[in-house]
Amino acid sequence: MLLQIKNLKVGYGNIEVVRGVDLNIDKGECVGLIGESGCGKTTVGLSITKLIPERRGITSGEILFEDRDILKLNPEELRNIRSKKISYVFQEPFSSLNPVFTIYEQIKESLEEKDNSDSQIAEILKSVGLEKIIGRKNVYPHELSGGMQQRAMIGMAVASKPSLVVLDEPTTALDVTIQRQILELIMELKNKMNLSILFISHDLRIVFSIADKIGIMYAGKIVEYGLKEKIISNPGHPYTMGLMDSIPSFEHRKKLFNAIGGKAPLFSDLPIGCKFYPRCKFRIDKCLEKEPELENVSSGHVSRCIRIKDMHYGVIKNK
Ligand SMILES: Nc1ncnc2c1ncn2[C@@H]1O[C@H](COP(=O)(O)OP(=O)(O)OP(=O)(O)O)[C@@H](O)[C@H]1O
Ligand code: SF4
Ligand SMILES: [Mg+2]
C-alpha cells in the first residue's frame, strides 16, 4: 500500500472538522474523495503532507506513506517528500501559478537541477499537451487560457515523477469541454507514469468517470467507501443514494431523494447519533443512539449506516 491514512483527526481552532478518517491508496490507483462543500475533503488532502495550520491542526492519526509515518518526519524529510514524492494540483490554476515568472521558469523550478535542461522542460510541456509553448521561454501565466494554465500546473506536479498526486477540484473552475480534456490528460499520465491519485471533488459524475475506488465524506467522516463499480451497482448509504439521484444518467433508478433536502450540519453543532439523521429518508429512532461504525456491505465495500442490511439498491426491504 502506498498511502495509508489511519484515524486522522484534524481541527481548526476549537472545532474538529476531520473526525477520524481512514483511507488507503495503492500504487497506480485513483481514489476519489467526494462530499458537499465544507465536509473536510481539502483538509484531508492537505494533511497528507502536513500542510495544515499548526494551531490545533492534526490531533491524531497516522499517515503512512511508503511505510513511514509522515506525521513523524523531521522538516528536512518532509520537504523532500513534498518536493519529490507527493504533489498537488488545486482548483484555481491562476492563483497557484506565480504571475511574475514565465511558465518555462516555473517548470524548471519544479525539476531537480540535474534534470532541468530545456529538453526536459520540452518533454514535460509535450506530455501535458502544451507543445505550442515549447521553445517559447517568455510566456507568462496570464497569456494562457484556464485549461492551458491547469495543464502547466499538472506538468509541474508530475515533473519530479512523484508517486502520489493530490488533485483538489482540478477541473471545477473550467468549462465542461475543457474539464473533459483535463480529465483525459490526468488518466493518460496516471497510466503512463503509474501514478497514484487522490482526486477530490464535489461532483460525483466526475469522480465516477476517473476513480477506481471512492470515499464518500459527510461531516468530517467517510460514510461509504469501496470500488466504484460496487458503489454504482449497490450504493450502501442514503447520502450516496441522494448524490446519485441527482445525476441524470442514473435517472432509471427508483428515485428516493431527488435532491437531498436540508443542509449539512455545522461542525460546531453536530447532531447526536448518525450525522446524516436530519436529512435521511430512512431514519429510525435507533439512528440517534450513537454514530454508526463502518460496516461491510460486501467485501471491500463499507458503509456507516445501521440500516444497510435493510437496503438493496436504495430500497428498504423490511421496514
Ligand atoms: N484554515 C481554516 N481555518 C478555519 N476553518 C477552516 C479552515 N479551512 C477549512 N476550515 C473549515 O473546515 C471545514 C472543512 O473544510 P474543507 O476546506 O476541508 O472542506 P471541503 O470539503 O474541501 O470543502 P469545499 O468543497 O468547499 O472545498 C469547513 O467547515 C471549513 O469552513
Ligand atoms: S444510520 Fe439511520 S439516519 Fe443514518 S444514514 Fe442510516 S438510516 Fe439514515
Ligand atoms: Mg475543498
Closest C-alpha to 179, from 155, 201, 156, 157:
201
Contact 25, 190 (CB under 8 A): no
> What does the pLDDT average to over 125-152?
96
pLDDT score at 187: 97
**Nearest ligand, CA 288:** 2
Residue 113 has a pLDDT of 85
Give which of 222, 241, 232 is closest to 311, Cα–Cα: 241
Q: What angle do CA 5, 174, 139 make, to 5 degrees?
A: 100
pLDDT at position 48 over 80: yes
Residue found by looking up cell 469541454 in the block? 177
What confidence score (pLDDT) does residue 319 get?
41
- Interval 244-274: pLDDT, tens: 988 876 655 555 555 688 899 999 999 999 9
Q: List Cβ neighbours of 37 (8 Å cut-off, separation of 6 or more).
A: 202, 264
Look at residue 220 in the predicted model and tell me its pLDDT: 98
Look up residue 63 and give its three cell numbers.
499517515
CB 224 within 8 A of CB 296: no
pLDDT of residue 53: 80
50 lines ligand 1 (CB under 6 A): no
Residue 233 has pLDDT above 50, yes or no: yes
Does pLDDT of 12 surpass 90?
yes
**Do residues 305 and 236 make contact, with C-beta atoms less than 8 angstroms apart?**
yes
pLDDT, residue 195, reads 98
pLDDT (mean) for 200-204:
95
pTM for this structure? 0.95
Q: Which domains does the chain have, with CATH numbers?
A: 3-211 (3.40.50.300), 216-316 (no CATH)
| Beta-strand pair 3-12/30-34 | unpaired
- Going by alpha carbons, the residue nearest to atom 10 of ligand 1 is 12
Q: List pLDDT tens digits, range 20-39.
A: 999 999 999 999 999 999 99
pLDDT of residue 250: 66
CA distance 315 to 319: 10
Phi, psi (deg, nearest 5) at residue 63: -125, 95
79 C-alpha vs ligand 1 centroid, how far in Å?
24
Ligand 2 atom 1 nearest Cα = 305
pLDDT at 6: 98
- Cβ atoms of 10 and 47 closer than 8 Å: yes
- The 10s digit of each residue's pLDDT in 63-114 is 999 999 999 999 999 999 999 999 999 999 889 999 999 999 999 999 988 8
Q: CA angle, corner 282, sides to 277 and 283, nearest 5?
A: 40
pLDDT at 246: 80
Does the C-beta of 12 come closer than 6 Å to ligand 1? yes
More confident residue, 131 or 313: 131
Beta-bridge partners for 5: 23, 63
Reading the block at residue 200, the C-alpha cell is: 477530490
Looking at the DSSP bridge assignments, the partners of residue 164 are 86, 196
Distance separating alpha carbons of residues 205 and 189, to the nearest angstrom = 20
- Among candidate residues 272, 204, 269, the one with its CA nearest the CA of residue 239: 204
Bridge partners (DSSP) of residue 161 are none
Reading the block at residue 265, the C-alpha cell is 450540519
Task: Return the percentage of the chain with pLDDT > 70, whole number.
Answer: 94
**Residues with C-beta less than 6 Å from any ligand 2 atom:** 238, 274, 276-277, 280, 282-283, 287, 292, 305-307
| Mean pLDDT taken over the chain | 93
CB atoms within 10 A of CB 165: 23
For residue 33, give the 3-state DSSP assignment. Answer: strand
113 contact partners, CB below 8 Å, separation of at least 6? none
Residues with CB under 5 A from ligand 3 (ion): 42
CB of residue 38 inside a 6 A radius of ligand 1: yes
Residues 314 and 233: their CA atoms lie apart, in Å, by 10
At residue 124, what are phi and psi to the nearest 5 degrees? -65, -45
